[in-house]
Amino acid sequence: MSEIEISDLPDKNKFYLKPSKKFNELFINVSEELKVNTTHLKKTKASCVDDMRLIFETDKYNTDDLKKVYNFLKNDREDERGFSWRKNIQSISKLREKMPKLLLEANTSSKTVFKEETAEEKVKRIWGDN
């Protein structure tokens, strides 16, 4: 999203630039991790910011909802079937489309969102330091 500057946006969209950039950076990182071409992501246009505005204004999601989904996508890993949300959400428009399912997953997921405990940490937690 390097082409988009806040001064390029209509006033109604300026608030939505930062969350749009955060998600776009996540999409780029995931694509690079998967060794997928990121050219299309690096050329993201103002339409992404407008999609983010619609997520807030039309769909009525809030900042906390987006933070939950962002963290969920950032930490999501493939399940036993090889499915991963993070591989399938690569644009703000797709994020908007799947937002209800993603928020539900983020709120109810049993997938590891926190750092996995090592065996040594588990032993210390269960048996103490002695």
Mean pLDDT on 28-33: 91
Query: Are the C-beta atoms of residues 4 and 45 closer than 8 Å to each other?
Result: yes
d(CA 51, CA 127): 51
Closest residue by Cα to residue 72 from 32, 30, 119: 30
93-127 pLDDT tens trace: 999 999 999 999 999 875 544 556 677 777 777 78
**What confidence score (pLDDT) does residue 110 get?**
52
| H/E run at residue 57 | helix 46-57
Mean pLDDT on 86-95: 91
Name the DSSP letter for residue 91.
S
With cut-offs at 50, 70 and 90, classify the pLDDT of residue 40.
Answer: confident
Mean pLDDT on 39-63: 87
**Which pair of tokens denotes residue 98?**
């799947």
Is the pTM here over 0.75, yes or no? Answer: no
